[in-house]
Amino acid sequence: MDFTDFDAKLSDWTQLQTIHPCSGLLLGNGASLAVWKNFAYDSLFELAQTTRNKPLSPTELALFKSMETENFEPVLSGLKVAMRVNAALTISSSSPRNRYFAIKEALIHGIRSAHIPWRLMAPSTIAHIGHALGQYDTVYSTNYDLLAYWAVMHGAHPFDDLFDEDATFNLHRTASHATRILYLHGGMHLVKNFDGTTRKLQSSESTLLGSFAVNALEDVPLFVCEGRSDDKMKIIRGSDYLAYCHAQLAQHQGALCIFGHALGRQDRHILNAVLQARPKTVAISVLPRSDAFVQHQKRHYSTLFEGQNIELQFFDARTHPLGNPDLAVPVARLKEGLELKNG
């Protein structure tokens, strides 16, 4: 493909934000990779199959295949329904319960093999991320890791995740004067109740990753991580919280910054929401690996927004606070993280 009609120049974020101030931030996996390179895995479903500790068995994989999904939430929710049906019909089969715990355990080990341990998060990094997120009216995150959550918990800037004091999402309390942070694909700190409502795990910042690793029957993780865009939308529509967050992106007012998000085919629903919002300006981060790569990225995004009357501005990801090279955990610490998980 010919990219010569696009130059390799990228704006400086600070200057761009002065000219085109963005009220919203759409956060993708690139922001997590800027901190922890082990977030570079392609599929959590594959991680759960290859983890050293109790990976998904052929029996569990058959359940995913029968439900035509690679997401964990519908499979775990389906098994919980099966347990209730068996109890009501006095069927003594323990298979749904056993499969539930086996799948949840494979998921836990898969995530722990890739996620940065709390002890390796420098306080300065957490504070820096929190300050960067606090510059926007609304942060829309498609990441389900804990980096943004940790930063929000520790940040000096006021944030509002729209959960009440009892840790339950309140659809009727959504107005806020603080920076709203909305997890479009859920998160490791969120669980789905049997009635479809969403609650937040109540745990301290330092123990939340460990809390996720507790294989409890009632805690079905709420995050959308695999599969086609249409399949992700099915899960989003089945959650009051996820549906609300998605609708908010589609109604966003003001310029939008997209950082670390490829807007690939599997996230077409995210692109559609942005197009529905029709922001006048969209600022997009690009990591300048080479001139050819920059040109390739410009063509990619320009094709996605073609004919939409939306002005695209491209900036060097390294000039944005979330792309600061100093945020990256050193290689030695990466190795320490692996030793912690494998030990």
Could you give the percent of the chain with pLDDT greater than 70? Answer: 90
Domains of the chain, residue spans: 13-36+122-342, 46-113
Residue with tokens 């990619």: 300
pLDDT for the residue 9: 96
Residue 272 has which token pair?
A: 């559609």
pLDDT for the residue 246: 98
Residue type, 225: C
pLDDT digits (tens, 9 = 90+) for 217-254: 667 888 888 778 998 998 899 899 999 999 999 999 99
**Alpha carbons 301 and 303: distance in angstroms, whole number:** 5
**Alpha carbons 159 and 56: distance in angstroms, whole number:** 37
DSSP one-letter code for 116: P
- Residue 323: which residues within 8 A CB-CB, separation 6 or more? 30, 31, 34, 259, 260, 285, 287, 316, 317
pLDDT digits (tens, 9 = 90+) for 13-59: 999 999 999 999 999 999 999 999 988 877 889 989 988 888 999 99
- Residue 303: which residues within 8 A CB-CB, separation 6 or more? none
**Alpha carbons 4 and 269: distance in angstroms, whole number:** 30
Highest mean pLDDT: which range of 81-90, 93-102, 166-175, 279-288: 279-288
Is the pLDDT assigned to residue 343 strictly greater than 50? Answer: no
pLDDT for the residue 336: 56
**Alpha carbons 120 and 333: distance in angstroms, whole number:** 7
**Alpha carbons 222 and 242: distance in angstroms, whole number:** 9
Residue 99 has which token pair?
A: 């499969």
Q: Place 3 in a pLDDT band, splitting at 50, 70 and 90.
A: very low
Long-range contacts of 42-45 (CB under 8 A, 24+ apart): 43/70, 43/226, 44/72, 44/107, 44/110, 44/111, 44/114, 44/225, 44/226, 45/70, 45/71, 45/72, 45/225, 45/226
299 to 185, 277, 285: CA distances (angstroms): 27, 22, 13
Q: What is the mean pLDDT of the chain?
A: 88
Average pLDDT over residues 167-195: 87
Do the beta carbons of residue 165 and residue 210 sit within 8 Å?
no
**Alpha carbons 308 and 60: distance in angstroms, whole number:** 44
